[in-house]
Amino acid sequence: MTFRAMNANNTLDIDERMKNHVINTKAEARQKLGFYYLRASQKEPVLMHVQTGDKVQKGDPLFTYIDERLNNDETEVELQLDNRRVAKEQVRGQIAAYEDKKLTAAARDTATINAQLNWLDSELTKAENNIDILKERQKRIVKQIDDLTVKAGADGTVLSVNEEQLQSFTSSSQYKPVVTLSMDALYIDGTANRYDMQFLEPNMKLKVTSSAVKGETFKGQLETISKTPVEHLAEGNLPVAASQPETEQPTTEQPETKKPEASEFQYSGFLNKADHLVDGDPLHVKVYPSYKNHIWLPERFVMKDVVTKEKDKKLKKPVTKYYVQKVYGKETNNELVVIKAHLGGQYLVTKGLSSIDKIKAFQD
């Protein structure tokens, strides 16, 4: 069933509607590139963590800016921690020795041993507190160093490392990337006509096939939908704010450059998996605009009723109610639904229908 198709027998199974109601569009598989630039006017070269051809995952380090002070602080804290840990173990050893001594000590020596143990316990507490303080300091330093590390924004492959640009770290202008990353995940770059575009929304489910990879179906979701025609984007002919008209008299004149009906609008989406697809492969995309609590119905399946009276009393403001005709065996019943939108001969029902419902048209 295409988006504009009407049910031939005047009945509509909601579960089938959600499964078979599709918008068909054309698209291409595209691969995103990530470009990573140096900050301008650096005093030291960066420390590289990758080279051309490396596979990286999102969050992996690519390169780190050098801060000698932080590096020295980190080394110093590590040495202090080592020393404090050694001192702590020495105190533990002394405590163990005195506890063993206490087991065989004469009664007259017990008080002296207990005093020594109390003092050692306080020394152990001090040592542990000092270690905790140093650990917190170490965390702060590590975070500061981590903040100087540029990380991969997605899973991918390092396409190139620009050695020449790496040596230009002192330059006040950084026009070329030092690392170029090819993202593993392909995305969908497609277009839809004016009619179909109005029904597209981010996060809608989609299925994709390609003549380049026969026999496979890929799943994904919509991400963005442009409201600007592709030809305007290509020509840079973006609309500007309209000037205030000199007269309020209506005009029947048509603009000289009337927007063609064939205007296409760009959209993008992602694929959960894209095995065997490569950049530039043609795609046939099926978008599913009807799903739970978001079901588009042809106008003839919805009855609009404008209520002006209630219990023989005139309402201050008319109330619009919408009904669908649900089928129960051989019987039908008009039931209220909630309508969110009315576009292109379709009503968007957001409440009042479930997958087990079957409805009948109000008119042939």
The average confidence (pLDDT) of the chain is 86
The tally of domains found in the chain comes to 2
- The string of pLDDT tens digits covering residues 79-97 is 999 999 998 999 999 989 8
Of the candidates 147, 163, 185, which is a domain's last residue?
Answer: 147
Percentage, residues of the chain above pLDDT 90: 55
Domain range holding 332? 1-21+290-364
pTM: 0.63
Residue 240 region, left (φ>0) first, then alpha (ψ -120 to 50), else beta? beta
Of the candidates 147, 172, 197, which is a domain's last residue?
Answer: 147
- The string of pLDDT tens digits covering residues 292-344 is 999 999 999 999 999 888 888 888 898 999 999 999 999 999 999 999 999 99
Of the candidates 113, 147, 181, which is a domain's last residue?
Answer: 147
CA-based end-to-end distance of the chain:
18
Q: How far apart are CA 53 and CA 157, in angstroms?
A: 6
Residue 279 lies inside a defined structural domain of this protein: no
Determine the residue type at 43.
Answer: K
Residue 281 lies inside a defined structural domain of this protein: no
Residue 112 lies inside a defined structural domain of this protein: yes
Q: How far apart are CA 216 and CA 274, in angstroms?
A: 10
Residues ≥6 apart with Cβ < 8 Å to 269? 27, 187, 188, 190, 206, 220, 221, 222, 223, 285
For residues 302 and 358, state if they share a domain.
Answer: yes
Q: Is residue 201 predicted with pLDDT exceeding 90? A: yes
Residue 225 lies inside a defined structural domain of this protein: no
For residues 12 and 74, state if they share a domain.
Answer: no
Residue 165 lies inside a defined structural domain of this protein: no
- The string of pLDDT tens digits covering residues 247-267 is 333 333 333 343 445 689 999
Q: How far apart are CA 111 and CA 191, in angstroms?
A: 88
344: domain CATH number is 2.40.420
